[in-house]
Structure 1
């Protein structure tokens, strides 16, 4: 379900209108275009662009896309009949200024600040792409792994404490989104 959100541009294109659960927090300055679906309890923070003008973007529940991030995809074409949709699971953390392009981020995956995940790459469940890293096309991160660098390479397996820290981050953003929604509702026009 899509509702009016002040300061947010929701743009239908090519007959596709974003489908956004009514509980989703979308901060002012965001632009969401085309065949985008965002699940319950998720949040999209200030000045993000989600552009599904050529294929699909799917975001699960309780996922957060932090400030200034860019999400896009690639269509099917000769030599690539499946294309590169952007598929983001539930309870995912996407850090500030990240770029996710036609990749898969499995449930509870983490994309660090300023990181890039390219077409057909996969960030496994409970895995972390470190801040500033670049996961190149087709690379697959195993669950619970930490990858870093440009290009990103496997560094180590994440500890239970690190995974619990990521889960705490998901809860923090879910709660913080409620506070921001309230503050914006009460802010002077």
Structure 2
């Protein structure tokens, strides 16, 4: 894990409270992003245009080959009296987070999916290979099991996902990993 170059054009990297974001050298961070504090981003992951990752009060951890799409906001909550664990934001490997999502103090297991404009709140959990539908709101402490589709506001389980749906999500992960390489080259060439 290496620190992202602090002078990368168009990306705001903001250390705070003695914590500086740590971003793997193979991760793609698009111009317009702001990444603050105790954030770690794994190999091959991509953070797309105009995302905000703010770990000023606790931690944000993002695994490998995960993508956070344009305009998404990621935050966390600190430990407090009566809640010694706080609400870190923990995101596994091969996760898809759709455009304009709000992901706050929750856990998304490997290969989880957050749809366009969806919200996942403190202490909620998205299981492996599970999908939170577009526009859905997963309220505090709700737990989605593996391979489940949840939708609505508040989100509720609709069904178990088929093998074809799971395969489609994995194709999406591969697409974003490849597309990030093209965007990284395009951004570099534009300088």
TM (norm. structure 1) is: 0.98
Following the alignment from structure 1 to structure 2, what is the Cα–Cα distance between the partners of residues 20 and 3?
5
1:51 counterpart SS class: strand
Aligned residue pairs, count: 188
Hey, what does 2:80 align to over in structure 1? 77
Following the alignment from structure 1 to structure 2, what is the Cα–Cα distance between the partners of residues 90 and 10?
23
Q: Which runs of 4+ in 1 moved over 2 A?
A: none
Matched, 1:157 2:160: yes
Correspondent of 1:176 among 168, 175, 179 = 179
Matched, 1:147 2:121: no
TM (norm. structure 2) is: 0.97
Following the alignment from structure 1 to structure 2, what is the Cα–Cα distance between the partners of residues 24 and 89?
15
> Where in structure 1 are there 5+ consecutive unaligned residues?
none
Hey, what does 1:17 align to over in structure 2? 20
Hey, what does 2:104 align to over in structure 1? 101
Q: 1:30-59 CA distances to partner (integer Å, 9 max, x unpaired)?
A: 000000000000000000000000000000
Q: 1:108-150 CA distances to partner (integer Å, 9 max, x unpaired)?
A: 0000000000000000000000000000000000000000000
Q: CA deviation at 1:102?
A: 0.1
Q: CA deviation at 1:186?
A: 1.1
> Where in structure 2 are there 5+ consecutive unaligned residues?
none
Hey, what does 1:138 align to over in structure 2? 141
1:84 counterpart SS class: coil
Two-structure CA RMSD over aligned residues (Å): 0.6
Q: CA deviation at 1:185?
A: 1.0
2:180 counterpart SS class: helix
